[in-house]
A and B are shown apart, each in its own frame.
Chain A
């Protein structure tokens, strides 16, 4: 049962984006389209899972004092791997994610999970935690990207939803940088309301 908890923690209760506010940079920058969001989510999930596995399996070997540089080297290795694989097999996605692929290295979610979870728990738990957190991050990105793409472009995953008239005059602000900040503010506001309802019910 606790394994299920390790896995599902990242979906809602400890969602990295909406709950702990980590990994904001790629979240805000790449939620302009659902394709980008899922691509970034997949890349970050891959790095998160394997860095969690590597760090938790070596947690008794890594010296305490230099653990952070060690983690960064692990993470950077997996990021380079993703970078090269994506450049080889999905060049258009690689191009549209651009600079944010190498920047997965400094994504606080990954280092945060390494420090807070993987160096204290077993390999299986860490693997599940990585997958769960990755799914939580991807879901959060997909939610934000759906809102921004539908409002700002009239499409979802490239499929025209709202008709040609809307697509000619979309709510452009949603897809431009200010839209990301403002929508994020209101989404967090909605989460605040839900939390307060729950507290009152309890």
Chain B
């Protein structure tokens, strides 16, 4: 019985309606960060999660860059969907338009940061181009579109998802730094041990499914 419950909570927040209100916002925030963590229960953004989680510093940098880009992508994709694609009945172009918007946005953010905040650019620099292929960004745009969220909820959902990604990434980096000094069986050294570690973390996050927001 509990099995059906766990599986159903794992997909429940994708089907929200377009309303508003504090309860729904809190639901999205807690859902995005803990219950339906983008990395650990929805498997979005696995590549950067495995690639950039070797050191704590770079994990924090990547997380900040993703929060920034995902918030903007959530707003930009919403605007384009409502103002351009729906009025022109071009809904079927959504995938192409969203990925182009995200790629352009990443470029833009890079250029703006370089001009106005070289320090931040230096800190985030190498992680920014990688974000285009982070499926969490395109994923949140598609989820927002499918759920029919308004502008505010779209941005809240995007930021919550990005914070969840950052949380998972930072925790993982901390764990992997510790694992450097531990005695891993030889055949599991490297990538296999990282996957198993992620599995154990995902198991811990599964416990949040009982929150029932």
Instruction: Please name all residues of chain A whose beta carbon is closer than 8 Å to the beta carbon of B142 when the two chains form the complex.
Output: 99, 102-103
Instruction: Please name all residues of chain B whose beta carbon is closer than 8 Å to the beta carbon of A80 when the two chains form the complex.
Output: 92-93, 95-96
Interface size on B, residues (CB 8 A): 48
- Whether B196 and A69, one on each chain, are in contact in the complex, defined by CB atoms closer than 8 angstroms, is no
Instruction: Please name all residues of chain A whose beta carbon is closer than 8 Å to the beta carbon of B193 when the two chains form the complex.
Output: 185
A103 CA to B103 CA in the complex, in Å? 14
Which of A7-15, A51-59, A122-130, A187-195 forms contacts with chain B? Answer: A187-195
- Whether B138 and A182, one on each chain, are in contact in the complex, defined by CB atoms closer than 8 angstroms, is no
- Whether B194 and A73, one on each chain, are in contact in the complex, defined by CB atoms closer than 8 angstroms, is no
Instruction: Please name all residues of chain A whose beta carbon is closer than 8 Å to the beta carbon of B44 when the two chains form the complex.
Output: 25, 103
Instruction: Please name all residues of chain B whose beta carbon is closer than 8 Å to the beta carbon of A25 when the two chains form the complex.
Output: 43-47, 135
A132 CA to B82 CA in the complex, in Å? 40
* Complex interface residues of chain B between 85 and 102 (CB less than 8 A to chain A): 92-96, 98-100
- Whether A186 and B192, one on each chain, are in contact in the complex, defined by CB atoms closer than 8 angstroms, is yes
Which of B118-126, B159-167, B174-182, B200-208 forms contacts with chain A? Answer: B200-208
* Complex interface residues of chain B between 188 and 202 (CB less than 8 A to chain A): 188-189, 191-196, 198-200, 202
Instruction: Please name all residues of chain A whose beta carbon is closer than 8 Å to the beta carbon of B206 when the two chains form the complex.
Output: 176-178
Does A29 reach chain B (CB closer than 8 Å)? yes
Within 8 Å by CB of A185, from B3, B132, B192, lies B192
A179 CA to B139 CA in the complex, in Å? 22
- Whether A178 and B146, one on each chain, are in contact in the complex, defined by CB atoms closer than 8 angstroms, is no
* Complex interface residues of chain B between 1 and 55 (CB less than 8 A to chain A): 3, 6-7, 10, 14, 40-47, 50
- Whether B50 and A72, one on each chain, are in contact in the complex, defined by CB atoms closer than 8 angstroms, is no
- Whether A189 and B188, one on each chain, are in contact in the complex, defined by CB atoms closer than 8 angstroms, is yes
Residue of B nearest to A21 (CB): B191
Does A43 reach chain B (CB closer than 8 Å)? no
Instruction: Please name all residues of chain A whose beta carbon is closer than 8 Å to the beta carbon of B200 when the two chains form the complex.
Output: 178, 182
Within 8 Å by CB of A99, from B10, B45, B93, B146, lies B146
A167 CA to B100 CA in the complex, in Å? 45
Contacts A77-B96, A106-B133, A176-B206; is A182 near B6 (CB within 8 Å)? no
- Whether A105 and B95, one on each chain, are in contact in the complex, defined by CB atoms closer than 8 angstroms, is yes
Question: Can you report 18 A-B residue pairs in the complex whose CB atoms are below 8 A from each other?
Answer: A22-B47, A26-B43, A69-B100, A99-B139, A99-B143, A99-B146, A103-B44, A103-B138, A103-B139, A106-B99, A108-B47, A173-B203, A177-B41, A177-B43, A177-B206, A178-B200, A182-B196, A185-B195
Residues of chain B whose beta carbon lies under 8 Å from any beta carbon of chain A: 3, 6-7, 10, 14, 40-47, 50, 92-96, 98-100, 103, 132-135, 138-139, 142-143, 146, 185, 187-189, 191-196, 198-200, 202-203, 206
